[in-house]
Amino acid sequence: MRRSIFIVALAVCEVVELEPIPDTPALLIKEQKSWVCVADLHLGIEVQLRASGFNIPSQTSKILSSLEALSSRGEKLIVLGDVKHRIPSVGYMENREILPFIKRLQEIFRDVVVVAGNHDGGLSSVLPEGLKAYSGHGTTIGTLGLVHGHVWPSGECMNSERLVMGHVHPSVLMVDSLGTRTNEKCWVRAKFMRKRVLERFGSCPKELVIVPAFNPLLTGTPVNVEGGTRLGPLLRNEMVDISSYRVYLLDGSNLGKPRVQKGRAYSKM
């Protein structure tokens, strides 16, 4: 994917680049110090899958290794929500695995920041000291707004040049002439319905960037399925122009606006 895709031009000739890291559901935010941005780790999802009859080993060490590898790309790390999967509380797995997981991230990144997601109830009880945590209403880096996406963004985030969001677990459903269906994680860029946004907020970002889920078990909810679920208040309240969606695969392939497929979207876990 060309680096120019997500470039954000700021005032006074300052430039922040949003660069998708090739073949990885992670975004590089380049300012004075570079940030690695990921969303939707969903640590512990294997426990819930096991209860449904799927015997899958813990993915926590694999996810940690992937994040460790990304530390060479950025000095800081921001996680856009859903660090854990269990709702609403912290279970045995979280008590055992999340604290050492976060502590290791603090060792390899200069700063670790978490924006709370809808799966993160009770997470604060297992977070180590020194970790910066924000509510689901989000935070900003320069003129970028960063949110999970399950609650309304703050006014400060909506005053940003671009809004970066997780929560949706975006994917694209591809169907060939033989009916073979392939569902792939993807990045989404979209425009806001400015008039609708300004009815609630004092300003409107120029663009929305939706980050794919980092957990390898979560392919996602296809964004091009007729009647697909609209997750979060921005999408539910039609503040995002669905017709403006532009989709990119993790390898950088630009699919443009993919053809809408009929049928039911995969449900989000």
Residues 177-204 have pLDDT tens digits of 777 888 899 999 999 999 999 999 999 9
Tokens (6 digits) for 83: 């660090």
**Strand locations in 116-160, DSSP E?**
132-134, 139-141, 144-147
Which letter does DSSP use for residue 71 in this model?
A: T
Collect the ranges in the chain with pLDDT lower than 70: 1-16, 85-95, 119-122, 125-126, 227-229, 262-269
Q: Name the residue type at position 166.
A: G
In the CATH scheme, what is the code of domain 20-256? 3.60.21
pLDDT digits (tens, 9 = 90+) for 216-250: 988 888 888 876 667 899 999 999 998 899 999 99
Tokens (6 digits) for 6: 């997500």
Measured from the Cβ of residue 247, the count of other Cβ atoms closer than 10 Å reads 22
